[in-house]
Amino acid sequence: MDTVSPDTRSRMMSAIRSRDTKPEVLVRKFLWREGWRFRVCDRRIEGHPDIVVPRAHALVEVRGCFWHRHGWTWDGRKLVQEAVCGDATWPKSNRAFWNGKFRKNVKRDERHEALWLEAGWHVAVLWTCGLVPAKRDKTLAWLAKKLDKWSLRSAAAPRGFAVTRGGA
């Protein structure tokens, strides 16, 4: 990953950023099949969450483990590791470049999550390592359970109590 030419790298990055990444399509197809109706990349919500499920008052984010640093959080000064994901590797060269990029991504994700919780959304974060064929069913079942719970609660209970991360 760290030995590719700048040209190739920028192509890889724009492919990663594109909206219809495969794991996200997988999640959307699952939701549709299960009868959940949703909006994709809603521009009216700051941070443009991947999937909005109005009936559960929930936002579902599908995050690539490498780019979004699965297992890492921002402690106000630096990235710190809280869980181990084999896909969140650190390229050996260009450390400064990657560190800056990862730091920016994690900080941005955390800022958006804080905004969404503040606005009363439930937030479910799915990591791509949990959507590989061997783990997919379990991860999607987890998501379905969360959405069920949130949709039953959404009329009565306080919202946005936590960001829930699954699929690791």
Q: Which is nearer to Zn ion, 57 or 70 (CB)?
A: 70
Q: Which is nearer to Zn ion, 31 or 128 (CB)?
A: 128
Give least dist CB 128 to Zn ion, A: 6
> CA quadruple 41, 32, 147, 24: dihedral positive or negative?
negative
Give least dist CB 167 to Zn ion, A: 8
Give least dist CB 166 to Zn ion, A: 11
Which value, to the nearest 10 degrees, does the dihedral of the CA atoms of residues 158, 165, 143, 155 take? 10
Could you list the residues that contact Zn ion (CB under 5 A)? 65, 70, 85, 87, 127, 129
Task: Decide: 116 and 59 in contact? Cβ < 8 Å.
Answer: yes
Give least dist CB 108 to Zn ion, A: 18
Q: Which is nearer to Zn ion, 67 or 150 (CB)?
A: 67
Give least dist CB 146 to Zn ion, A: 18
Q: Which is nearer to Zn ion, 73 or 154 (CB)?
A: 73
Q: Which is nearer to Zn ion, 74 or 127 (CB)?
A: 127
Cα(168)–Cα(163) distance, rounded to whole angstroms?
14
